[in-house]
Homo-oligomer: A and B are copies of this chain.
């Protein structure tokens, strides 16, 4: 009645070879005489032998598993990245252990330790910001790490992103060219470098280049929730904004709906450009104009980079910047 597992040893016995030989054929080692290989393969098939990956992991010190730390899979932005990661992982015969961190520091550290205990071959980290503790853990661990869609000053780990500053700059330039003077900058926490540094810099630069002075009253800091966006219209109206850059799609849909619920005409009286080009942008009415980020690709490239790192291949550049553009849809006038 008990789980009667069959091992490499059983196969060896049945095939009249040593377990070393069985191991070789299982691992595709070429130093096996064809006829022997065939014989072993037959037995494997007959006994329905399945190599125990845990034992393999112990002996080879490789688990073909990578850890993926994500704030919340429920967020399309992250699930898109995760999808890209998993596809490439599968392509290279890896599996992913997915862990939600809620961007909670303690939980992150905890999760990281579990992953390392499980001997993952590499780690992909996603998150809006990287705590000092995590940074420290990353540089301490000799396990390769790649940040997907997260920037950090730590040059030790790999990371892949788009140029957030540049993208934001283009959006604001576009708005300015169309005559807007009061352009809102709406984003998640400014404490996160992507918002507080890169995007904001892009925003400021565009204003400066156009000779418009920066007004901190036009910077709106919220969390990433739809609800926060929906409630924002009051403030936006009193600030007199006529256009807005929004750092997140759900948030942007909220902003749009909030405005519409107040009988604002979009895009005639208020233009919006969002940031992530998730499928939400197509599902909204009017459709959301948005910076296009290759989400899936960011995940995919991250994983590809990680495979190189795990393989100890020479990597010319640990920082990868993917191209972006802007899709003009219903929340901008032509």
Contact = CB atoms under 8 A, between A and B. Distances in A.
Contacts of A57: 54
B142 A118 contact: no
B53 A117 contact: yes
A119 B52 contact: yes
Given A50-B116, A54-B118, 15 more contacts: A50-B113, A54-B54, A58-B58, A73-B82, A74-B80, A86-B99, A90-B100, A95-B97, A95-B114, A95-B115, A226-B279, A250-B279, A254-B283, A257-B283, A283-B284
B283 A250 contact: yes
Interface size class of A (residues with CB under 8 A): 35 or more
Nearest to A117: B53
Interface of A: 3, 50-55, 57-58, 63, 65, 68, 72-74, 76, 79-80, 82-83, 86-87, 90, 95-100, 113-119, 142, 226, 250, 253-254, 257, 260, 279-280, 282-285
B117 A100 contact: no
Contacts of A253: 283
10 cross-chain pairs, A with B, having the tightest CB-CB distances, nearest first? A98-B98, A53-B118, A54-B57, A53-B117, A73-B79, A54-B119, A79-B79, A74-B79, A74-B83, A54-B58
A106 to B, nearest CB: 12
A74 B284 CA distance: 18
Contacts of A82: 73, 98
